Amino acid sequence: MKALVAFILLVQLPIHRAAPAAPPPPLGCDDPEIEAAAEFAVIYINGHSHHGYRFALNRIEQVRVLFQGPNNEILFLELDLLETTCHILNPTPLVNCSVRTFAEHAVEGDCDVKLQKVNGQFSVLASKCHSHADSAEDIREVCPNCPLLANLNDTDVLAAVSSALNDYNSKNPDVYLMLLEIGRAVKQYHPVQMVSVEFAVAATNCTSQQAKDNLAACQLLPEDQSNFGFCTAKMVTEPSQDLIAECQLYGHQPGVTYPHPGQDTSAGLVPSAGQGFTNHNLKISHNNPVASESSSSEFPSLLSAKSVAKRAAAEVAQHDKVPHPVGFVPPPPLCPGKIRHFKI
Ligand SMILES: *[C@@H]1O[C@H](CO)[C@@H](O)[C@H](O)[C@H]1NC(C)=O
Ligand SMILES: *[C@@H]1O[C@H](CO)[C@@H](O)[C@H](O)[C@H]1NC(C)=O
Ligand SMILES: *[C@@H]1O[C@H](CO)[C@@H](O)[C@H](O)[C@H]1NC(C)=O
């Protein structure tokens, strides 16, 4: 008997070796390996963004994996992101940054990312993102009184930012802060007339008194001493005037820079790059010369990935026609993956 078993094993072994390697099972959008790739991609995207806020992963929409060889894969991901409350200059870890709620007028980011995974190490080969605020109709439907995002160059918004910064600088005279960019703004009409603004600032080499005497001589601190911060302010205009402004300086963060629109680093209200929009576009922000802004031909397979998913769904449906044993739970669809925050 033992001899027979050994004989069978001997016979089977070479056959087994000769059999072609089974194709790896398709990976779903919520597969831990895909989630790890998406998290890597989100860190990359935030790290290469120079304006506005950091984004958090909301959903993995689509994935396609090309096996290049042992321990070598190319991954195409289609990601839905949501804007967080952390400005890109804010050093808070992303997990501690809260996602803007739907009622705060959410901004969604859509990204196509091409990654390579070699021996467990990810690298981003290409990425393409854009972001857009949720439509006013969507918000109105759920929340008729929620304030909507205002244009960043709206006259009332600029007035609120200017008043808030002057107010803060007069109450904190040691370091004169200068505006870097307005991050977002909302205008509200009921029950009070109010403008809420958020803006990024940086410390200059002046005190408030020096700025008052000669503003033109005040410069942003040099890169090795840079000190960025962020302000939020609410300016009520009706029924009575009121202003609350709060700023937080993050302290010097080695290696963190802010690209200046134009060469004007003198203090005062520097118009932020781009005007006439309500949110900083992730596409504009995302300007890594090597890996971003790549042509859409870098992502040819995402469409076909969709048809792959459709085919998989069709196969599942086909499979469902076969009678299943009692208690059979059909497998979840591979993509899109779960929604982490909310659907917009
Ligand atoms: C981030 O959140 C974790 C867990 O809630 C907390 O322990 C940590 O102190 C937070 N870090 C910052 C910088 O807020
Ligand atoms: C700030 O820096 C500029 C440029 O280096 C210099 O001209 C100016 O005197 C400095 N201002 C103060 C108050 O140190
Ligand atoms: C805002 O910017 C847009 C585009 O540059 C411009 O058309 C519009 O007049 C600006 N609005 C204000 C209030 O400056």
Where do the structural domains in the chain lie, given as residue ranges?
32-137+284-320, 151-273
Class level of CATH domain 32-137+284-320: alpha beta
Which residue minimizes the CA distance to atom 3 of ligand 1? 96
Which ligand 1 atom is the nearest neighbour of the CA of 91?
13
- Report the pocket of ligand 3 as residue ranges, CB < 6 Å: 151, 153-155, 275-276
Ligand located closest to 93 CA: 1
| Residue 266 beta carbon below 6 angstroms from any ligand 2 atom | no
Q: What is the mean pLDDT of each run of 10 residues along the chain (344 residues)?
A: 50 50 76 96 92 95 93 96 96 95 92 95 93 90 88 92 96 95 91 94 96 93 95 95 96 89 45 64 52 45 47 50 63 86 90
| Cα-to-centroid distance, 278 and ligand 3 (Å) | 11
Peptide bond connecting 336 to the previous residue in cis, omega within 30 degrees of 0: yes
Which residue minimizes the CA distance to atom 14 of ligand 2? 205
**Alpha carbon distance 36, 118 (integer Å):** 14
CA distances from 57 to 29, 78, 87 (A): 12, 11, 16
**Alpha carbon distance 200, 232 (integer Å):** 9
Q: Residue 226: which residues within 8 A CB-CB, separation 6 or more?
A: 202, 203, 220, 252, 253, 256, 257, 258
Q: What are phi and psi of 145, to 5 degrees?
A: -105, 0
Which residue minimizes the CA distance to atom 5 of ligand 2? 219
User: Which among 96, 98, 248, 250 is the best mutation to test ligand 1's pocket, defined by most ligand atoms within 8 Å of the CB?
Assistant: 96
Per-residue DSSP letter, 220: B
Q: What is the DSSP string of 265-297?
A: -BSS-PPPSS-S-SS--HHHHB--TTTBS--GG
pTM of the model: 0.80
Q: Is 151-273 the same fold as 32-137+284-320?
A: yes
| Residue 205 beta carbon below 6 angstroms from any ligand 2 atom | yes
Long-range contacts from 165-172, C-beta under 8 angstroms, 24+ separation: 165/199, 165/201, 165/231, 165/245, 165/269, 167/233, 167/243, 167/245, 168/231, 168/245, 168/246, 168/247, 169/208, 169/211, 170/208, 172/208, 172/247
Contact 85, 101 (CB under 8 A): no
Which residue minimizes the CA distance to atom 6 of ligand 3? 276
**Alpha carbon distance 199, 182 (integer Å):** 4
Instruction: Please give the CATH number for the structural domain made up of 151-273.
Output: 3.10.450.10
Ligand located closest to 98 CA: 1
Q: What are phi and psi of 303, to 5 degrees?
A: -60, -45
